[in-house]
Amino acid sequence: MHGNGQAGIPTSGGWGGRQCCYHVTSRDLARFGLLYLNQGKANGRQVVPAGWVRDSTRVTTPYTRPEAIDQDGWGYGRQWWTGFDGDYSAIGVFGQYVYVSPRNKVVIVKTSQDINSEENFAEVPYAFHAVADAAGKG
């Protein structure tokens, strides 16, 4: 990674030891998206198994299909939300996004502190989809 990323486990608040709070730059998030866009390869070297990339960015269980979770057409893979036309996204707290569009060869990163991110969720994927489509035609 380019920056000095950090990950932390909350010490208070009763989160039960779950991992949280991945602190990196927007550039690092984009590089992570590119890693997935390139099927787990970075600089020509396979660093994440291509099978894992494929399986983690697809709905793999019936209870995470879009019709089962009612999230505006999104399903859920393994830490990735699965979207339209094969696109997928990592979505973090307060509206953080890494959006990957393999068909357009586009990665979009959004950092923010949107305290209404759950209410605004329905808008963002459609905007990213439109931007990826426009960039893919360029």
pLDDT value of position 126: 83
Q: Note the pLDDT tens digit of each residue in 10-64.
A: 555 554 555 556 677 889 999 999 999 999 999 999 999 999 999 888 887 766 6
pLDDT exceeds 50 at position 3: yes
Q: How confident is the model at residue 91 (pLDDT cuts 50, 70, 90)?
A: confident
For residues 102 and 136, what is the distance between their CA atoms, to the nearest angstrom? 10
In which element (H, E) is residue 67 found? Answer: helix 66-69
Residues 73-97, mean pLDDT to the nearest whole number: 79
For the chain, the structural domain boundaries read: 26-137
Question: Which region among 20-34, 78-92, 94-108, 113-127 has the lowest average model confidence (pLDDT)?
Answer: 113-127
Taking Cα atoms as reference points, which of 87, 131, 130, 91 lies closest to residue 114? 91
The more confidently predicted of residues 132 and 81 is 132
pLDDT value of position 114: 72
Q: Note the pLDDT tens digit of each residue in 64-84.
A: 666 555 666 666 677 887 877
pLDDT value of position 1: 45
Computed from CA positions of residues 68, 74, 76, 77, in that sequence, does the dihedral angle turn out positive or negative?
positive
pLDDT value of position 19: 55
Look up residue 71 and give its DSSP letter.
B
Q: Does domain 26-137 have CATH number 3.40.710.10?
A: yes
pLDDT value of position 112: 81
